[in-house]
Amino acid sequence: MNTSAEKSLSVLIKEKAHDLGFDLCGIAPSKILKEHEPIIKKWCSSGMNGDMNYLGQNLEKRINPGLLVPGAKSVIVTGLNYFTGKKQGGNGIPVISRYAYGVNYHDVIKVKLNMILEYIKLISPEAEGKSFVDSAPIIEKAWARESGLGWPGRHSILINNKIGSFFFLGVIILNIDLDYDEPFSEDHCGTCRLCIDSCPTGAINENRTIDVRRCIAYLTIESKATIPKDLVPKMENRVFGCDKCQDVCPWNSNAKPHKNPEFELPEEIRQITAEEWHNLTREQFNTLFKRSAIERRTYERFMQNVTIVTKFSS
């Protein structure tokens, strides 16, 4: 049973997260998410993970936080809004996903999570833990649901009924007990299937999984192979990521702009013309995207996206 001190620590953690700019924060008891193992295995065995073989590896760690942090008892999950109504693109200009508009979110969130972790240790010196932002085999969306932050939409992306789905997840695993939130057990998608029907390449499955081999985000960011010729005309000028399934989601119709200047699209990128995108030099690429998530795609592969995809733009 949690003590009043531990309960107050949970409240303090959430207040700290809010002070650091996080829009969401929930806490769940650590446990083995055994029910997710067969789902991951089936998805990977069908080849729907593309060449991301690592998603089928370390399944034990993926479902068991105790293998990442010995003695794990609590999982803290945060959500940080990155939505903006300002759209980049148009007039033949290559389109990039909102998530890559500003500074690499991994760097932004990791700093904030570590600040929460240090704060916890000041209050509770016996606490040990680690923070993660896409940096370990963790099922972040599953833990977000366990901590009460939302439910997976038909596009498989987590949806929160207050802020929608345009938010980044961060995780802290701790070795101390805390006061826990109730898992989010409801599904508010109803009969809506706008995301499925609106996906340009038909990548969204009926069972809330994605066939990444057809997903524009995967094809332009993660894939090691050349974009399939039959999908290129359907990509609607997108060269890095895709927001289509989130754009059409009713839960994002009233999404509020983020309050994080780090995620704003720099003017020097906003002003690049279509011709300048096609003539982008390696030096310009390195300068413009030095702190961006776009730098994870090499200059050669990014420019390949620009050349192949925009060829079919009207």
DSSP helix/strand/coil, 11? helix
**Confidence at 314, pLDDT banded by 50, 70, 90:** very low
- Shared domain for 303 and 239, answered yes or no, is yes
Q: What is d(CA 100, CA 108) in angstroms, rounded to the nearest whole number?
A: 12
Tokens of 305: 């996206």
Q: With 0-12 CB in 10 A as exposed, 13-18 as middle and 19+ as buried, what is 207?
A: exposed
What is the reported pLDDT for 105? 96
**Is there a domain that residue 90 lies in?**
no
Instruction: Indicate if the pLDDT at residue 134 is higher than 50.
Output: yes
Domain of residue 299, residue span: 194-310
- Shared domain for 38 and 125, answered yes or no, is yes
Q: Tally the domains of the chain.
A: 2
Q: Which helix (H) or strand (E) holds 308?
A: helix 299-310
- Shared domain for 248 and 282, answered yes or no, is yes
**Confidence at 313, pLDDT banded by 50, 70, 90:** low
The per-residue pLDDT for range 260-290, each reduced to its tens digit, is: 999 999 999 999 999 999 999 999 999 999 9
- Shared domain for 160 and 45, answered yes or no, is yes
The per-residue pLDDT for range 25-36, each reduced to its tens digit, is: 999 999 999 999
What is the reported pLDDT for 310? 85
List % helix, strand, coil for the chain (3-state, nearest 5).
40, 15, 45
- Shared domain for 169 and 213, answered yes or no, is no
**From 23, 134, 179, 243, active-site residue:** 134
Q: What is d(CA 238, CA 305) in angstroms, rounded to the nearest whole number?
A: 8
- Shared domain for 159 and 267, answered yes or no, is no
51 is catalytic: no
- Shared domain for 168 and 215, answered yes or no, is no
- Shared domain for 141 and 212, answered yes or no, is no
- Shared domain for 50 and 123, answered yes or no, is yes
* pTM, 2 dp: 0.94
**Confidence at 1, pLDDT banded by 50, 70, 90:** very low
